[in-house]
Homo-oligomer: A and B are copies of this chain.
Amino acid sequence: MREAISPAAAAALVRDGSTVMVGGFMGVGSPHRVIAALVERGARDLTIIGNDAARPGHGIGALIDAGCVSRCITSHIGLNPSLQKKMIAGEVQVDLVPQGTLAERIRAGGAGLGGVLTPTGVGTVVQDGKQLVKVDGRDFLLELPLRADVALLRCYEADYYGNLTYRLTARNFNPIMAMAATTVIAEPDEIVPIGLIPPDHVCTPGIIVTHLVERPH
């Protein structure tokens, strides 16, 4: 059983200097209430792993604006000129990873794999410093798993075991991040009694979700 905690209590679980996976795609499916609480508490020196940097003031963009972030592992920052400027100024380190590779690396981290071979990035700058492995005469890059201290998820429904469902395109990176972090904090739109989510509709099992954020008022 998980007791629901406040966004501020959730933010307190995210230590300065830690690596944090944040669900969402352009802020859709991001845990905005926990993000606001992180900004509020003045978190510092976070390494953020997320699909993109959203927009200034929004989602991961809000964390960057507030100076919470020292490093960003992400596939796209094109709609966040603030991060682009901080990157050029050397205030935030940005590691660009192809989106499908980012997803596979996070999945590998959660699935206990030592890495995966992907054709993506072969013959591009993404190849730099990576092992090239030939399988059946075709070149692949060995991409290594990603894990985090904390995963911050947004979900649609949760029950008090922490079982989660997601909604449409707000699903995105959330289910794979749920598997790849030590502390897993889910911010639901709604919390329902145990047993109300059919077993076939649960998308993330409660046993791996360590904390549940109270529903919005």
Contact = CB atoms under 8 A, between A and B. Distances in A.
A106 to B, nearest CB: 14
A116 B115 contact: yes
Interface stretch (A75-83, A132-140, A177-185, A206-214): A132-140
Contact of A133 (B119, B142, B165): B142
Interface residues of A, number: 25
B119 A117 contact: no
Contact of A114 (B111, B118, B166, B168): B118
Nearest to A143: B113
Contacts of A108: 116
Interface in A101-115: 104, 108, 111-115
Interface string A182-203: 0000000000000000011100
A15 interface: no
Interface in A85-136: 104, 108, 111-119, 133, 135
Interface of chain A: mostly helix, strand, loop or mixed: mixed
A167 B200 CA distance: 7
A144 interface: yes
Nearest to A141: B114
A79 B203 CA distance: 32
A16 B44 CA distance: 63
Contact of A116 (B117, B171, B199): B117
A115 B144 contact: no
Nearest to A103: B111
A156 to B, nearest CB: 8
Given A112-B119, A115-B133, A116-B117, 14 more contacts: A104-B113, A108-B116, A113-B116, A114-B117, A114-B138, A114-B140, A115-B116, A115-B135, A115-B140, A116-B116, A117-B142, A167-B200, A168-B200, A200-B201
